[in-house]
Structure 1
Amino acid sequence: MPQVIHLNPENVMARLVPHILEMESAAHGQRIAIGIAGGPGTGKSTLAAELVAMLNAVKPGSAALVPMDGFHMKHAKIEAMGATDRKGAPHTFEGAEFVGFLHHLKHASEAVSGPGYSRKIEDTVDDAFTVQPDVKVLVVEGNYLLLTEGPWAGVRPLLDYAAFIHVPRELVRKRLMKRHGEEGLFSEERNRAHIERNDLPNYDLVEQSRERADVIFELDVTR
């Protein structure tokens, strides 16, 4: 059973950074992968980026962010599937490609570039980041890292340590409304419908995978 810790987001780093540094030292030069999982709107992307920054502040160039979102299917492919209403659900990602990419990254000795996702265009961007040869800690961030369905089952065995981020469902709903509205691509009505039809069911699915983490951070947040 994972350890469950209630704390403020600011204190997550105080828990994670020393532990990861110890893991890196014990790996004797081998790359390790740290998973930051959680549903949409839980703040895991921000936490993962902060974690990379703090690890690199201690050991410059030692950590890199690996976002799962870059493995969304291309929007044109999702449209061709007739799945735009469910964009962001597990079946609208290239899950097997993500698993293969992560496996390659753990053993690569050369620079490796990977895709990202842009909310400004609601589509993936090739070569959005590059993991340099000296990187020893991969901070892997995404919704579906701990799922057991289909190709997603291949992710967890590649993670040396996994943290799950929990934020209450009602707060997630408010955050997602704000996020979807920021780029002004869609109407408020469309955004609200998408959240209820897609984002919150995805949140519920991800919550069911939390027991596969090593630690669950239940964050004390109000906004």
Structure 2
Amino acid sequence: MTAQTIHLTPQTALARLVPHILEMESQADGRRIAIGMAGGPGTGKSTLAAELVTMLNAVRPGSAALVPMDGFHMKHAKIEAMGATDRKGAPHTFEGAAFVSFLHQLKHANGPVSGPGYSRKIEDTVDDAFTVPADVRVLVVEGNYLLLTEGPWAGVKALLDYAVFVHVPRDIVQARLLKRHGEEGLFTEERNRAHIERNDLPNYDLVETSRDRADVIFEMDVER
């Protein structure tokens, strides 16, 4: 089935998602549901996912939790040992199988479960960065590679009850990424531009090939 494509702003996207997810939760007979927020780097999916969790919890306190894929980056030391620092952030520099296993555990957990996060300030993962409490009924899972069919990533889609793909034009993504890298102040602008061209934009292009596996595609009407 071809994914439905809708043009909308982040605010109208949230207004559309919240009632739909609340209805899904009410029909789930107490089991946890997972909502996937996929899209390339710089598309704003992380912000959208965090705001979605906030809005769901405003309606039903404690019902939703954010589950970021980025915590499953390989440790930086491991990526260095692989000689893959130039491609850090590409699918093969993640612990994809561990991420799939973690999602499966979360969907069936009866108690609190902690998971890793990623810090751009240190460019590395942080263990036990968040905890999903036992009472959570909606997992909002966000990340670039949720809908890929390569390797262990192919196992993610089956664990998602509803998948959203967030699209933002490539030129806007490029400008956003340059600003993001610059704000962290870890590297020169020249290095950041090279990294974006060599790594981030190819990752964006790869992720775009997976968009039709979503249940709905949000073509975001955004400013730079």
TM range (shorter): over 0.9
Q: TM-score, normalised by structure 2?
A: 0.99
Unmatched 5+ residue regions in structure 1?
Answer: none
1:80 is paired with a residue whose SS is helix
Return structure 1 stretches of 4+ with deviation > 4 angstroms. Answer: none
2:6 is paired with a residue whose SS is strand
* Rounded Cα–Cα distance in structure 1 between residues aligned with 2:10 and 2:24: 22
Partner of 2:158: 157
Partner of 1:5: 6
* Rounded Cα–Cα distance in structure 2 between residues aligned with 1:221 and 1:53: 21
Partner of 1:132: 133
* Rounded Cα–Cα distance in structure 1 between residues aligned with 2:213 and 2:150: 13
Aligned AA (1:43): G
- RMSD over aligned CA atoms reads 0.4
* Rounded Cα–Cα distance in structure 2 between residues aligned with 1:62 and 1:11: 22
1:126 is paired with a residue whose SS is strand
Partner of 1:201: 202
Partner of 1:64: 65
Residue 71 of structure 1 and its aligned partner are, at CA, apart by 0.1
2:114 is paired with a residue whose SS is strand
2:135 is paired with a residue whose SS is coil
Residue 95 of structure 1 and its aligned partner are, at CA, apart by 0.1
* Rounded Cα–Cα distance in structure 2 between residues aligned with 1:35 and 1:7: 18
Describe the superposition over 1:122-172 as per-residue Cα deviations: whole angstroms up to 9, x where unpaired: 000000000000000000000000000000000000000000000000000
Partner of 1:191: 192
Q: Is the aligned partner of 1:170 residue 2:171?
A: yes
What is the aligned residue count?
223
Residue 44 of structure 1 and its aligned partner are, at CA, apart by 0.2
Partner of 2:115: 114
* Rounded Cα–Cα distance in structure 2 between residues aligned with 1:210 and 1:121: 31
Describe the superposition over 1:160-188 as per-residue Cα deviations: whole angstroms up to 9, x where unpaired: 00000000000000000000011110010
2:57 is paired with a residue whose SS is helix
Residue 65 of structure 1 and its aligned partner are, at CA, apart by 0.2
Partner of 1:79: 80
Aligned AA (1:37): A
Unmatched 5+ residue regions in structure 2?
Answer: none
Partner of 1:99: 100
Aligned AA (1:71): F
